[in-house]
Amino acid sequence: MASLTIRKLDEELKALLRLRAASHGRSVEDEVRVILREAADQREASASAPQSQPAPRRHAPATASGKERVTLIIGGGIAAYKALELVRLLVKAGADVRCALTRAAKEFVQPLSFQALSGRPVATDLFDASQELAAGHIALSDWAELAVIAPATADLLARARLGLADDVVTATLLAIPPERTLFAPAMNERMWASPAVAETMAALKARGCSTIGPNAGEMAERSHVGLGRLAEAAEIAAACAQKLATLAPRPIPSHLHDGPAQPRAWDLENVPVLVSAGPTREHLDPVRFLSNPSTGRMGFALAEAARDRGARVTLVCGPTELAPPTGVEVVRVESALEMQAAIEPRAAQQRAIVMAAAVSDQRPAERAQQKQKKPDGDEHLRLVRTPDILRGLGERFLNATPRPLLIGFAAETERVEEFARAKLVAKHLDLIVANDVSGAEAGFAALENRVVVLDKDGGRAQFAGPKLAVAHHLWDEIARRL
C-alpha cells in the first residue's frame, strides 16, 4: 500500500484518529489502513451479496397509543443533561417514553424536566407508593420494549452487572431481559480504560446487552481527552430504532394499559410562534452600555418547548452567553430599536408572540462614536425612552382579525401581581407572566422559575420548577387559547 499522508486532515479529525489508534495499540497510519481495508471489505461484501430481504416490519405494540415503548434510565453523571435531548428525539420519532433517575442523576437534572418532555410520570424512588403504581420498577420493566441506559456511569454499569436492586433503576434493570437493554456508557477516559470496567462491559455483553459508544473527545475535566464521552443523542436515538427493529413486539400486561402519554407532543404542529429572549444593550459609547442581568434562559426554554411541540419558532434574542436551541430560526439583535425592527415585520405572520426578553426601558439620548474619557467632577447622563414593543403590538392588533395571541412578561420586585395586571390591561395583552426577581432562587440567571400567569378575563395560574418545565406549562396555557 502506498505511503499515507494525513497532514492535510483537519486537527479535529487528526485528534480522533490518534485516539482511535491509541485505543487499538496501533500507529495512526496503521489505523488509517485498517479503516480503509474495512471500508473496502464492506463494499465488496455489499456488491457480491444477494439482494437482502427487508427486515420484517414490527407489528404495532399492544398499547393504546400504538407507539414503541422505551424506558430511559438516567445515571448520575455530568452527561445526564444530554438525556433530555434524547427524550425529545425519541418522542419526536413516535416513541412512548418513560424515565427513571438514580439518586445521583437528580443532582444534575430535575425529574420534572423529563416529565415535561415525555408526558409521563418519572420514577425516582423505589419505596414511593404513588410512583410504584404509576412508574414503579416492575411496571417499568413489564411495560418497556426497550430499556436505554444513558448515561451509563461506571457505578451503574457495575451495579447492573452484579444484579443489585436497591433502587428503582437497578431493580428495573434486573427485571428486564438483557436482550432488551441498550447501554450508553459515559465516564472519564481513565475509568473507561480500567480493567474493572472492561470486565463489566464484557459480562453485560455476554448476557446479551447491547451498547453504543462511548465517543472520543474532551472530558468534563478540561485536561482530559480520550474515549469516554456519551454518544450523541441522535446516535443513541438511531441505535434505539435499529434495536427495536430486531426485537419481537412485547405485549403489555392488561393492568398497564393506561393509554398514551398525556402530551403536549405536537399540539403546536406547524403553528408559527415568535419568542423574544435575553437583554438588550443601549450603548453610551463603543465600550459602555445600559443593560440588565437577563441571561435569556427562560426565553430559550420557551423556544425549545415550542419546537418540541411542533411549532415553527422564530427566536429574537439579545446578547447572551447561552447557545440558543437548535431547530429554530434565530434572529440576533442588540438594542431595543433592533429588536423592534426584527419583531414588527414578522408579527402578523405569527399565531402567538411571547415577549420574554428583558428590553431596556431607557437609552442614552446620545451615543458617542469614540470611548469617552473620564472628566473631572460629576457627570449627568440624559436618558430617553426606548420603544415599548409589546404595547405597540397590542395597539396594532387591538381590533384586528385574525390577530396573534400576545403574551408579556413582568419582572417585578414588589406588588408583583398588581403591577403585572396593570401591564396586562394597559398593553392589551391576552396573558402576562409575572415573576418576582428579587430573590436569587428564581428569575434572572436562575435555573428555576416561579411564575403567576394572569389572563385578560381574570384567570390566574401558578407554576414553579425548572425553566423548561415552566415553559411547557406556559405553552399549555397558550395552546388552549389558540
Question: What amino acid positions are annotated as catalytic residues?
Answer: 292
Q: In terms of DSSP bridges, do strands 282-285 and 288-290 run parallel, antiparallel, or are they unpaired?
A: antiparallel
Strand partners, 452: 434, 462
- What's the CA angle centered on 270, arms 399 and 302, to 5 degrees? 80
Tell me, rounded to whole angstroms, the distance of Cα 313 from its chain centroid.
15
**Cell numbers given for 133:** 403504581
Which residue, chain included where needed, has cell 446620545?
366
CA distances from 131 to 135, 139, 140 (A): 5, 10, 11
Q: In terms of DSSP bridges, do strands 460-466 and 448-455 run parallel, antiparallel, or are they unpaired?
A: antiparallel
CA distance 122 to 135: 6
CA distance 424 to 406: 10
CA distances from 28 to 33, 43, 91 (A): 9, 23, 40
- Whether residue 214 has a cis bond before it, omega within 30° of 0: yes
- What's the CA angle centered on 63, arms 59 and 69, to 5 degrees? 80
